[in-house]
Amino acid sequence: MAEPFDYDIVEKIAVLSTSSKGWTKELNLISWNHREPKFDIREWSPDGTKMGKGVTLSKEEVAYLKEALNGREDI
- Please report which confidence band the pLDDT of residue 5 belongs to, taking 50, 70 and 90 as the band edges: confident
Gap between the Cα atoms of 22 and 34, Å rounded: 29
11-47 pLDDT per residue, tens: 999 999 999 999 999 999 999 999 999 999 999 999 9
Alpha-carbon torsion 55, 48, 14, 72, what sign?
positive
What CATH number is attached to the domain comprising 41? 2.30.31.70
Structural domains of the chain, count: 1
Residue 2 lies in a domain: no
Domain range for 16 = 7-70
| pTM of this structure | 0.89
Is 1 part of any domain?
A: no
Is 75 among the domain residues?
Answer: no
The CA-atom distances, in angstroms, between 44 and each of 1, 54, 64 are: 22, 10, 25
